Amino acid sequence: MLYQCRECMSEYPLNTLEYKCKCGGHFNLKFNKSGYKPDLYKDVSNLSLWDYECVLPFNKEESRDITMMEGLTPLIPLEEDLYAKAEYYMPTLSFKDRGGVMLVLLAKKIGLSEIAIDSSGNAATSVTAYSTRAGVRCHVFVPEKTSTNKLKQIQAHGGIVHTVWGNREDTSLAVKEFITLNNIFYASHIYNPVFYHGTKTYFYEVFEQLGFRFPDIFIIPIGNGTLIFGAELAFLELKEAGYIQKYPKIIGVQAKNCAPLISEDPVSIKETIAEGIAIPNPPRKKEILEIVNSTGGYIIGVDEDEILSAKDGLAKKGLYVEDTSAVNYCAYLKIKENLTPSESVVIPLCGSGLKSNVKHF
Ligand SMILES: *Cc1c(COP(=O)(O)O)cnc(C)c1O
């Protein structure tokens, strides 16, 4: 491999300290590789979650004006037997696009021109982005503490933001009052199962990316459980179709400061930097616990300083994620020494680090 001047054709070794040719010309890189042969049978026109159209509630054709070719995110080998699925490689920089596109397709299909959603940030960003593409007005209810970066993104997409003075639970009460008063469709990622048929593609993709098998363990962050409900669908469908015999284990993660699935004590709820999973009272708590238990898994809690140090650890590996996503790597570090040799783990990197700028308290 050599550099070659584009003007005088002089060649330089790779370790030259020159950054351009002595004659002033710029370098080309010269190396001996050629032989691109198009594989006429490889269909890359469909590289998105719409690959799984046959198990989705809508067709790729119906999604044509709305899809941003979401899905099919990379599975990055991080450590031996640990893979990170980089969900922030997504149109709105979080995994919520898997469900967001489905919810908006639903709104379109039933002929709505206006919808409302409440979220701590990422679900609303996604639903707003797709709504705008679909020509649907989207009211967004967010708690006051939402990262300003997420708010800017929602506003940029054209979302009508209603800031609620209070926590995530107050926000959910506010949207429910608003939809009842104004007769507006509640495009909820928490209640509407259409969303979960989007998030289930996360598991279909991992299944294929690992060579048509699941890892032993999926670590999954839990706020309202949207990824867990996707797991429930994918596991069931793949088992019924005979592709898996048993369920991989789900290890759920919550921030200890807001861990209603671990502790029953409501006074123990405090603020957490993991804003995306700061849900003091998840409406589907019982179902989430049932799903986790059905896989032989359990839920662990992580401390605030552990989250920050895991975030830093990931950044030092080149992956910059939002605080809420660092909880997953943090959970891995905590269970690591109890793993049996060759037990494989997949963690999701749900949101981009550029999203979180909530004050660290
Ligand atoms: C939504 C979200 C989660 C998971 O929260 P659920 O409410 O359980 O769906 C995790 N991380 C990030 C970054 C999120 O946006």
DSSP 76-95: EEEETTEEEEETTSSTTSBT
CA separation for the pair 49, 37 (Å, rounded): 26
37 Cβ contact partners less than 8 Å away, ≥ 6 residues apart: none
The single-letter code of the amino acid at 300 is I
Angle, alpha carbons 131-350-217 (nearest 5°): 130
CA 251 to ligand 1 centroid distance, Å: 15
**Which of these, 62, 64, 140, lies nearest to 106 by C-alpha position?**
62
Ligand 1 atom closest to the CA of 350, numbered from 1: 13
**Which of these, 140, 96, 91, lies nearest to 114 by C-alpha position?**
140
| Paired tokens of 13 | 């070794």
The C-alpha torsion from 82 through 87 and 70 to 163, rounded to 10°, is 160
**Which of these, 178, 177, 137, lies nearest to 157 by C-alpha position?**
137
- What is the pLDDT tens value at each position of the chain, 361 positions in all? 999 999 999 999 999 999 999 999 999 999 999 888 888 888 887 799 999 999 999 999 999 999 999 999 999 999 999 999 999 999 999 999 999 999 999 999 999 999 999 998 899 999 999 999 999 999 999 999 888 998 999 999 999 999 999 888 899 999 999 999 999 999 999 999 999 999 999 999 999 999 999 999 999 999 999 999 999 999 999 999 999 999 999 999 999 999 999 988 877 889 999 988 999 999 999 999 999 999 999 999 999 999 999 999 999 999 999 999 999 999 999 999 999 999 999 999 999 999 877 544 3
Instruction: Provide the 10 A C-beta neighbour count for residue 192.
Output: 17
Q: Please, how many CA atoms are within 13 Å of residue 242, restricted to the half-sphere of its CB?
A: 0
Q: Does any ligand 1 atom lie closer than 6 A to the CB of residue 225?
A: yes
Classify 37 as helix, strand or coil: coil
Class of domain 49-92+195-355 (CATH, top level):
alpha beta
Ligand 1 atom closest to the CA of 277, numbered from 1: 5
Per-residue pLDDT, 145: 84
Looking at the chain, the domain(s) classified CATH 3.40.50.1100 span 49-92+195-355, 97-193
Q: Does any ligand 1 atom lie closer than 6 A to the CB of residue 94?
A: yes
Mutate to test the pocket of ligand 1, among 202, 253, 302, 350 (most ligand atoms within 8 A of CB): 350
Per-residue pLDDT, 266: 76
- Residues 99, 189: contact at Cβ < 8 Å? yes
- Residues 25, 6: contact at Cβ < 8 Å? yes
**CATH code of domain 97-193:** 3.40.50.1100
pTM, rounded to two decimals: 0.94
Q: Please, how many CA atoms are within 13 Å of residue 117, restricted to the half-sphere of its CB?
A: 31
CA 235 to ligand 1 centroid distance, Å: 20
**Which of these, 299, 197, 291, lies nearest to 247 by C-alpha position?**
291
Which residue shows structure tokens 């050599």? Answer: 2
Determine the angle formed by the axes of helices 97-109 and 226-240, rounding to 10 degrees: 80
User: Which stretches of the chain are DSSP H helices?
Assistant: 97-109, 122-134, 148-156, 168-182, 193-199, 201-209, 226-240, 285-294, 304-316, 323-335
- Residues 138, 158: contact at Cβ < 8 Å? yes
Per-residue pLDDT, 1: 97
Q: Does any ligand 1 atom lie closer than 6 A to the CB of residue 172?
A: no
Instruction: Provide the 10 A C-beta neighbour count for residue 188.
Output: 23
The single-letter code of the amino acid at 156 is A
Angle, alpha carbons 141-143-148 (nearest 5°): 95
CA 350 to ligand 1 centroid distance, Å: 7
290 Cβ contact partners less than 8 Å away, ≥ 6 residues apart: none
